[in-house]
Amino acid sequence: MSGLFVTEARREGKPFLFAVAVIAALGGFLFGYDTGVISGALLYIAPELHASSFEQEAIVGALLLGAVGGAVMSGYLADAISRKWTKVISGTVYALAALACAFSQSAGELIAARFILGLSVGTASFVSPMYIAELSPKRIRGGLVSFNQLMIVTGILFAYIADFGLKGVGDNWRWMLGLGAVPGLALAIGMLAMPHSPRWLAERGREEEAREALERTHRAEDVDEEMTSIKDVASREGRLRDLLATPVRSMLVVGLALAIFQQIVGINTIIYYAPTILSFSGNSASSAIGQTVFIGVTNLVFTIVAILLLDRLGRRFFLLAGTIGLAIALAVLGAFFLSSTLQDSVSYLSLVALIVYIACFAIGLGPVFWLMISEIFPLELRGPAMAVCTVANWSFNFLISFTFLTLVDAIGKTATFWLYGVVAVIAVVFFALKVPETMGRSLEQIQEDVTGRKRRRRRTAPRTRHA
Ligand code: BGC
C-alpha cells in the first residue's frame, strides 16, 4: 500500500478500476453514514417518540445486532448467490430500511427498521472489501483496505453534516435517517453494472467469464498469473476449523484481540453519542451537533494522515502511540465530569478531549485493525478468519454501545470513561507484547514473531502464502 486506492488504480491504467473503487466507496460510505447519523438524530427522536434510556440504546443497538447477523450471513450469501447479488440486495434492503426508519411512528417500529438496516450494514462491511479485493490487482489490494476505512469515516462525517444541516428543518430526524436511501439505491443500481467476482466464477467452473472479468481490471500480462493463483487458492481453501491449528491460532488471538479492543476502548460511544456526551456538559442540542462536525472532520483528517504514513512508520508505532493517546484523553474526559471547577473554568475541555480521542483512534486502532486482519492470515484462511474477526468486532460494538447510557446511569460519567481508559491501558500492554510489525514483512516472519519460535515446515496443515 503506497497511497490512496484511486491514485493507484489510475497508475494501473485500467479505467474500469475507478468504477470498482466507487462501489467500494459506496459500501464503506453507507456503513459509516448509518452508524454516524444516529448520533444527532437521537437528540430529536428521544423526545418525539418518548424513548427511555433503554429504548435509545435499543435504537442505536438494533442496527449493531442486525450487523452481527448480517456479518454472519454474509460469508454464506457471498458464496451461495455471489458477491455481486449480495451487494445488490444489500443496497436495496438498505434503501428500503432507511425509508422505514424515516416513517417510523414509535420507538418499537424504529428499532425493528434499524435491525433490518443493520443486516444490510453487516453484510456490506464484509462483502464490499472482499468483492473489491477479488477484482483488484495484487499490487494495489492493500490500498483498498485503508480506502475502505477512509470511506467509512467520510460516511460518518457526511452523517454529522447532514445532522447539522437538517437540525432546523421540520421532521429533521426523519430526513436524517431517510437520506441513507439515496446512497443505498446508488449501491444497488451501481452493482448491477459490475461483473461477478472472478474468484466466485472460477470456483463454479465458469473460467471464461472469470477471465473476462479479470481482463477488465488487470493488465493483460497479469491475467494468466492471476487465473492460476485463483485456482490454486480455491483448491486449497481452508475451513473454519483450520483456524484452530497452530500457528494460525496465535494469529487468530491477535486478530480477535484487535477486533475486540477496537470496540471496548469505547470508540462508538463517541461516534454514536458525541452530541449526547457534549450535551452532558451543558451544550444545547444544536451546538452539540455543530461541535460533533469537528469530531467528524478530525476523524477524516487523521485517517488520511495514517493512510499516508502507515507504510513509513509502521503499524505498531501508530497502534501504540494512538492507544496511549486515547487512554490519556479518556482520563481527562473522566476528570472533566468529576470536577465542577473544570466544567466552569474550561468548559471546552470535553470537546478538546473528544477531539484528541478521535484523532488518536483514527491514526491507530481505526485503520490498523482492518489493515492487520487482512495481512496476518494465510491466504487460504483469510476469508473465514476475517469473517470471525468482523463478527467479533460488530458483537463488541453492540455490547459497548448498548450498555453505554445504562453504565453512565449506574456508575456515572467519570467512572464510565475511566473504565474505558483502563481497558485502553490493558490494550497498550497487549499490543506491546503480542502484536507483530507487519509492515514490509512476510507472513512467515510475522508468524515467527507471534509464536516466538521458528516455524517448522508443516506437512499436514494448509500451506501459507501472502497475496
Ligand atoms: C470501526 C467502527 C468505527 C469507525 C470510526 C472503524 O474502524 O470499525 O466501529 O465506528 O472506525 O471511525
Nearest Cα residue to atom 6 of ligand 1:
366
Look up cell 477484482; give the residue. 135
Q: Closest Cα to atom 3, ligand 1: which residue?
A: 268
| Ligand 1 atom closest to 149 (CA) | 7
Specify the ligand 1 atom closest to the Cα of 362. 12
d(CA 1, CA 9): 12
Query: What's the total number of domains in the chain?
Result: 2
6 and 94 in a single domain? The answer is yes
Residue nearest to atom 12 of ligand 1 (CA): 153
Pocket test for ligand 1, best of 39, 121, 147, 267 (most atoms within 8 A of CB): 267
Q: How far is the CA of 363 from the centre of ligand 1 (A)?
A: 12
Asked, for residue 50, whether it belongs to a domain, the answer is yes
- Looking from the CA of residue 271, the nearest atom of ligand 1 is 10
Are residue 150 and residue 76 in the same domain, yes or no?
yes
Distance in Å, CA 224 to ligand 1 centroid = 37
Specify whether 186 is located in the same domain as 315. no
Are 373 and 64 a contacting pair, CB within 8 Å? no
Residue 378 counted as domain residue: yes
Asked if residue 150 and residue 22 are part of one domain, the reply reads yes
Q: First-to-last CA distance in the chain?
A: 12
Q: What is the pLDDT of residue 378?
A: 79
pLDDT of 238 reads 66
Mutate to test the pocket of ligand 1, among 152, 357, 358 (most ligand atoms within 8 A of CB): 152
Same domain for 181 and 270, yes or no, is no
End residue of a domain, out of 194, 210, 230: 194
Residues 149, 261, single domain; the answer is no
With cell 509464536, the residue in question is 451
Q: Which of 119, 100, 142, 134 is nearest to 31 (CA)?
A: 119
Q: Is residue 219 part of a domain?
A: no
Query: How far, in Å, CA of 23 to CA of 26, rounded?
Result: 5
How far is it, in rounded angstroms, from Cα 97 to Cα 117?
5
| Ligand 1 geometric centre to CA of 394 (Å) | 10
Looking at residue 467, what is its pLDDT? 41
Task: Identify whether residues 74 and 163 lie together within a single domain.
Answer: yes
- The reported pLDDT for the residue numbered 7 is 65
Whether residue 205 is contained in a domain is answered as: no
pLDDT score, position 340: 82
Cα(366) to ligand 1 centroid in Å equals 6
- Could you tell me if 257 and 173 lie in one domain? no
Q: How many CB atoms lie within 10 A of CB 205?
A: 9
Residues 187 and 248 in one domain: no
Q: Which atom of ligand 1 is nearest to the CA of 365?
A: 7
Tell which atom from ligand 1 comes closest to the C-alpha of 299: 12
Is residue 116 domain-resident?
yes
Q: What is the pLDDT of residue 35?
A: 81
Give the domain range for residue 300. 242-452
* Cα of 139 from ligand 1 centre, angstroms: 26
Q: Which of 158, 179, 194 is the last residue of a domain?
A: 194
Q: Whose CA is nearest to atom 11 of ligand 1?
A: 366
Residue 262 alpha carbon to ligand 1 centre in Å: 8
User: What does the alpha-carbon distance between residue 454 and residue 448 come to, in Å, rounded to a whole number?
Assistant: 5
CA distance 130 to 52: 39
Last residue in a domain, options 130, 160, 194: 194
Residue 457 lies in a domain: no
Site to substitute for ligand 1 among 262, 355, 360, 365, most atoms within 8 A of C-beta: 262
123: which 3 cell numbers? 453484510
CATH number at residue 383: 1.20.1250.20
- Whether 173 and 273 share a structural domain: no
Distance 205 CA to ligand 1 centre (A): 37
In the reported structure, the alpha carbon of residue 400 is separated from the centroid of ligand 1 by a whole-number distance in angstroms of 13
287 with 165, same domain? Answer: no
Which grid coordinates belong to 3?
497511497
Ligand 1: residue of 268, 319, 371 to mutate (most ligand atoms within 8 A of CB) is: 268
Is 227 within a domain? no
pLDDT, averaged per 10 consecutive residues of the chain (467 residues), comes to 56 72 79 85 90 88 93 87 93 96 95 96 85 75 71 91 87 94 93 90 89 87 84 71 76 95 95 82 78 91 88 88 97 91 81 95 92 80 84 94 89 96 98 86 67 50 43
Burial of residue 348 (CB within 10 Å: 0-12, 13-18, 19+) is exposed
Q: Which atom of ligand 1 lies closest to the CA of 358?
A: 12
Pocket test for ligand 1, best of 68, 147, 271, 371 (most atoms within 8 A of CB): 271
Distance 216 CA to ligand 1 centre (A): 32
pTM of the predicted model as reported, rounded to 2 decimal places: 0.83
The protein residue whose alpha carbon is closest to atom 8 in ligand 1 is 366
Report residues whose beta carbon is within 6 angstroms of any ligand 1 atom: 35, 149, 152-153, 156, 262, 267-268, 271, 299, 366, 370, 393, 397
- The verdict on 17 and 114 lying in the same domain is yes
In a domain, 285, yes or no: yes
28 CA from centroid of ligand 1 (Å): 10
Contact 339, 414 (CB under 8 A): no
